[in-house]
Amino acid sequence: MTGLGVRMAAVLFLRYALRLLAAWCFAWGLAVLLMRAVWGIASGPLLWGTAGLVPAAAVACVLALRRTPSRPALRAVLDRASGCGGLLMAGAEVPLGAWHDRLPAIGRPGLRWRSRPLIIVTVAACTFLVFSFAIPRRYVAISPHRPLNIQGEVAEFREQIEALREEQIIEPQQADELEEALARAAAEASAENPAETWEALDHLEDAVTKAAADPAEEALHQTEQLGKAESLARALAADADALKPEAMTAAMKKLAEMLDEAAAENEALREGGFQQALEGCKAGGLSAEAALELAGCLGLSKEAIAARLGRLVEARLIDAELLQMNELLGRCSGEGLAAFLAEAGGLGLPIEDLIEQWLVAAPGYGGIDRGRGDAPMTKMEPARSEGTDFTEQALPPATVADLKQSRLLGVSLGAPAVGTDAEPAAFGALKGTAVGGGSAHTYVPLPRHKRTVRRYFEREAATGADAPPSKPRTSP
Amino acid sequence: MTGSPTVLQPDELRPASELAAQALEQIDRSLLGQEELHRMVLIGILSHGHILLEGVPGVGKTVLVKVLGEVLNLDFGRVQFTPDLMPGDILGTHILQQTPSGEREMVFREGPVFTNILLADEINRASPKTQSAMLEAMQERAVTLLGKTRPLPDPFVVMASQNPIELEGTYPLPEAQLDRFLFKLQVDVPAVEVLDEIISTRRRGEPPRATWSMSAEKLASLFAVMDRMYLPKAVSRYISRLVAATHAGAAEAPEIVGVYVLYGASPRAAIAIAEAARAAALLAGRPTVGFEDVRAVAPAVLNHRLIVNYKARFDEVNTFAVIDELLGSLDEAGLDLPQDVHVSGEAEE
């Protein structure tokens, strides 16, 4: 019996110990992961948690002892298992006498414990605990700094800065500074404070866009100048014979001014035959071939500027509309200018004015053109009201207000005078009444008229009844 | 009855045990193929209990009672219950009789209940009024008429039979009367081999007369031995837990009880189990009651005392299924072990 009790206690202890061990392993593993992830505690100092096994074993021991069957219960089990038919149980209560020697052999009842599920759970719990200790910290660390995903924006800014650097729009030092600022913003970008990051990027965008805006504007201006100069050069090359010598000289002078102005803004123009052509213009001896060569040179410069602007457009530093505007401003119309000069040259106007008028002509500003006549909108004088008369018109009287709220205060003493020439009223309260009907029509005063009517009758009473009013009146 | 303070010694127990075995052998010899039924009937008689036999006609219920009377040397009376049977037809009645001196007086004429073994054949065919006339006789073993109580002979055993078919025109026994029956036993149809033997060895099916009968003194000694059968505390505790678990909502009641049982067994059932288990132990030749004795008699004691609900009828769950589940789920020793720890009943060598 003692053996069975010990076996039962051992099995129960083992059962409770495994359950508590599994629970402890799961709980402690979770705590280890938490401490390592949040506070970054190393694995070594956390080994003190193994001390929890001691109280777990103590609790298991207590639980097993409380669950272990009592001696009478164990005796009953042995009686049943050995087929004693109650003799073993009775032996503990009363003397068995001769039956004591006839007791069957007491066997060992089998003790079965379905331990496999518990063992599996315990092994899993232990594995989890080992895992919580062994896993590298970088996999469990919960970083307080969560980066903001701005990779796309950074790449775009980097491309723009590179474009500005390549096009020599900004100095290399300024480009380096911009790149450093961009790198710093990318490194400090945090999801906890995205506004700061976006603000930094906005500053960068502002700086980059401003850096690109001035060269773009300048490029547009240069293109416009080059386009005008090219137009004049091509006009001179196309129809130089149609102009008078004085006009030709003036035109070349004008062209020289334009070339000077363009060269002042674009040093690259001075290379090649530009300088020679400029001298020729200033001397008034620019040949048609030289003018044509000069026009080609100017066209190439325009293309270079357009390519530069295209690079900026690709980098999204300027709008594509600026590129279109650049093409529009650089449009060359040498044949048209030549025809205009040939036609208008005979009018005696100064050739400089004609050229200027032609070059500045633009839709909406008039100008001399045979095209459509666009004109600016002009507002006239506003209309005045002085001296204006209005036709007077009599309006019909208002209808009598609702009488439902009226109250009769009195009736005049005199009889109403019946008119003879009156016609039936066409509107108002007496509308449709018969003329001379003989009955006095009584108006019921409205509430807002009561006081007036009362004053009338009070005054009448004060002046005496012998002095009736000259004319019978009804209340209004 | 709590049992004697000492255990019957082998020389005291052996004669009684052999006597019971001899009676059982005689009954088995007269009626073929119903050994387990005979054993339970003998257990019932040794327990002073009344027995309700349920079976189709012709399976030997009447013959069994007749043989019992012969073997145990007891008076035997039979009443065929019919709807017009009156209580006086069973208990007896007063009749006006002239004495030899010429005076007339009311004389009590005992009814068939004044016997040792009363066969109440087809008891469910009598009216409730007549059935209730049996209540006092069965419980108090006495009959009270016109204010005078007359004890019945000792032992007094009612062996009632009822037919599970032809229920039209019958009156189901009230629960109070059912509870007074120690056992409700099913009398099954014998197997083919038994039928063959009956036909071939017995003329007109008449059983051979008993070659041995028990004297009244021996029967009394048998009952005296019964009183000294020892019931260990663990077994009595098991009986109590078993009966308590037949009630839905009890701590140890299995799920099937909660689902199907409307009313559980009464305390009389616990007493009946204890008494019957003592008799079973005596037949087994043991002075003490073991768990196996309780398990052997529990179905016969409980099956007519459990009242199942309509759900059980719909699901075709009878009381025997409930009792089987109950006996299977309740640990005899009362071990409070976790579900995954189990002690096997067989000892390992």
Q: How far apart are CA A291 and CA B136, in angstroms?
A: 150
CA pair distance A224, A326, nearest whole angstrom: 8
Question: In chain B, what is the straight-line distance between the N-terminal and C-terminal CA atoms, in Å?
Answer: 37
Q: Which of A263-277, A459-473, B4-18, B223-237 has the lowest mean pLDDT?
A: A459-473
What confidence score (pLDDT) does residue B324 get? Answer: 94
List all residues 6 or more positions away from B171 whose beta carbon is below 8 Å from its beta carbon. B124, B125, B126, B127, B128, B131
Residue A74: closest CA among chain B residues belongs to which residue? B333
| Longest CA span, chain B | 85
User: What pLDDT is recorded for position B3?
Assistant: 44
CB burial of B327-338 (b: ≥16 within 10 Å; e: otherwise) equals: beebbbbbbebe
The Cα A243–Cα A236 span in angstroms is 9
pLDDT the model gives residue A364: 44
pLDDT at A437 over 60: no
For residue B103, give the amino acid letter. Answer: E
Q: Which residues in chain A touch residue B338, judged by CB atoms under 8 angstroms apart?
A: 12, 15, 67
Whether chain B has a CB inside 8 Å of the CB on A106: the answer is yes
In 3-state terms, what secondary structure has residue A361?
coil
Q: Cα B348 from chain centroid?
A: 37
- Is residue B23 within 8 A of residue B71, CB to CB? The reply is yes
Is there a contact between A80 and B295 (Cβ–Cβ < 8 Å)? no
Mean pLDDT throughout A310-333?
A: 77
Sign of CA dihedral A254, A257, A261, A263: positive
Please list, in sequence order, all residues whose beta carbon lies within 8 angstroms of the beta carbon of residue A457, skipping any fewer than 6 positions away: A409, A410
The per-residue pLDDT for A365 is: 43
User: Rounded to an integer, what distance in angstroms lies between the CA atom of residue A275 and that of residue B114?
Assistant: 159
Under an 8 A CB cutoff, do B232 and A113 touch? no
Cα B184 to Cα B67, B160, B297, distances in angstroms: 19, 9, 11
Distance CA B2, CA A471 (A): 135
Task: Answer for the pair A445, A414: CB distance below 8 angstroms, yes or no.
Answer: no
> If pLDDT is split at 50, 70 and 90, which confidence band does A42 have?
confident
Lowest mean pLDDT segment, chosen from A8-17, A375-384, B17-26, B266-275: A375-384
The DSSP secondary-structure symbol of B78 reads: E
- Compute the distance between CA of residue A121 and CA of residue B310 in angstroms, rounded to an integer: 44
Q: How far apart are the first and last CA of chain A?
A: 127
Nearest Cα neighbor of B302 from B280, B281, B326, B283 is B326
The more confidently predicted of residues A197 and B229 is B229
| Window from A18-27, A93-102, A122-131 with minimum mean pLDDT | A93-102
Given a contact cutoff of 8 angstroms between Cβ atoms, the answer to whether B161 and B122 are in contact is yes
Task: Tell which B residues from 209 to 238 touch A, by Cβ distance under 8 Å.
Answer: 230-235
Are A318 and A312 a contacting pair, CB within 8 Å? yes
Helix (H) and strand (E) counts in chain A: 16, 1
- Residue A327 token pair: 């093409």
Burial environment of residue B159 by CB neighbours within 10 A (0 to 12, 13 to 18, 19 or more) = buried
Q: Report the run of H or E that residue A391 belongs to, with start and end.
A: none
Average pLDDT over residues A15-44: 86
The answer to whether residue A472 scores a pLDDT higher than 50 is no
Res B236: pLDDT: 94
Interchain CB contact of A163 with B (< 8 Å): no
What's the burial of A284, exposed, middle or buried (CB within 10 Å: 0-12/13-18/19+)?
A: middle
* Confidence at residue A272, expressed as pLDDT on a 0 to 100 scale: 64
Beta strands in A396-440 (DSSP E): none
Q: Coil, strand or helix: which one is B263?
A: strand
Give the minimum alpha-carbon distance from B28 to chain A in angstroms, rounded to a whole number. Answer: 25
Nearest C-alpha neighbor of B333 from the set B232, B218, B229: B232
pLDDT cut 70: percent of chain A above it: 72
Nearest to B348 among A98, A102, A110 (CB): A110
Tokens 């005596």 found at: B282
What value, to the nearest 5°, has the Cα angle with vertex A400 and ends A396 and A405? Answer: 165
Residue with tokens 């070059």: A359
**Are A375 and A429 in contact, with CB atoms under 8 Å apart?**
no
**pLDDT category of residue A451 using cuts at 50, 70 and 90:** confident
In one-letter notation, the amino acid at residue A130 is V
CB contact under 8 A, B288 and A86: yes
Taking CA atoms, what residue in B is nearest to A102? B10
- Which ipTM value was assigned to this complex? 0.82
Nearest CA in chain B to A64: B337
Q: How far apart are CA B246 and CA B330, in angstroms?
A: 11
**A 8-67: CB under 8 A from B:** 8, 11-12, 15, 67
Percentage helix, strand, coil, to 5, in chain A? 65, 0, 35
Query: Model confidence at A402, in pLDDT bands (50, 70, 90)?
Result: low
Neighbours of A281 (CB within 10 A): 28
pLDDT band at A110 (very low <50, low <70, confident <90, very high): confident
- Separation in Å, CA B129 to CA A269, B92, B93, B123, B159: 139, 15, 16, 12, 19
Mean pLDDT of A115-121: 91
Beta-carbon contacts below 8 Å between A and B: 137
Q: pLDDT of A339-372, one tens digit each?
A: 777 766 666 667 767 777 666 654 444 445 555 5
Span of A54-58, A264-268, B270-274 with lowest mean pLDDT: A264-268
Predicted local confidence at residue A475, as pLDDT: 43
Across the range A242-256, mean pLDDT stands at: 74
In A, minimum Cα distance to B4 occurs at A94
Share of chain A above pLDDT 90, in %: 7
Name B107's Cβ contacts closer than 8 Å, sequence gap at least 6.
B94, B95, B96, B97
Q: How far apart are CA A14 and CA A10, in angstroms?
A: 6
- In this complex, the residue of B290, B335, B342 whose CB is nearest that of residue A86 is B290
Residue A33, number of CB atoms within 10 A of its CB: 18
At residue A242, φ and ψ (nearest 5 deg) are -75, -15
| pLDDT number for residue A378 | 62
Which range among A294-303, A327-336, A397-406, B71-80 shows the weakest confidence by mean pLDDT? A397-406
Q: Which residues of B190-219 are buried (b: 16+ CB within 10 A; e: fewer)?
A: beeeeeeebeeeeeeeebeebeebbeeebb
Length of chain A: 476
Answer whether A112 sits within 8 Å of B293, measured CB to CB.
Answer: no
Instruction: Compute the Cα dihedral for B25, B29, B33, B34 and give only its sign.
Output: negative
Task: Judge contact between A333 and A231, C-beta under 8 A.
Answer: yes
Interatomic CA distance for residues B119 and B86, integer angstroms: 16
Nearest CB partner across the interface for B9, out of A15, A76, A98: A98
CA B177 → CA B13, B134, B169, B304, distances in Å? 34, 8, 19, 11
Cα separations (Å) of A41 from A26, A31, A46, A191, B189? 18, 11, 8, 25, 82
Could you list the pLDDT tens digit for every one of the 349 residues in chain B?
A: 444 467 888 888 899 999 999 999 988 888 888 889 999 999 999 999 999 998 888 888 888 888 888 898 888 888 999 999 999 999 999 889 888 888 888 888 999 999 999 989 888 889 888 888 888 888 889 998 888 899 999 889 999 988 877 777 788 888 888 898 999 998 888 888 888 888 888 777 677 777 888 888 888 899 999 999 999 999 999 999 999 999 988 888 999 999 999 999 999 999 999 999 999 999 999 999 999 999 999 999 999 999 999 998 888 899 999 999 999 989 888 888 888 888 876 555 4
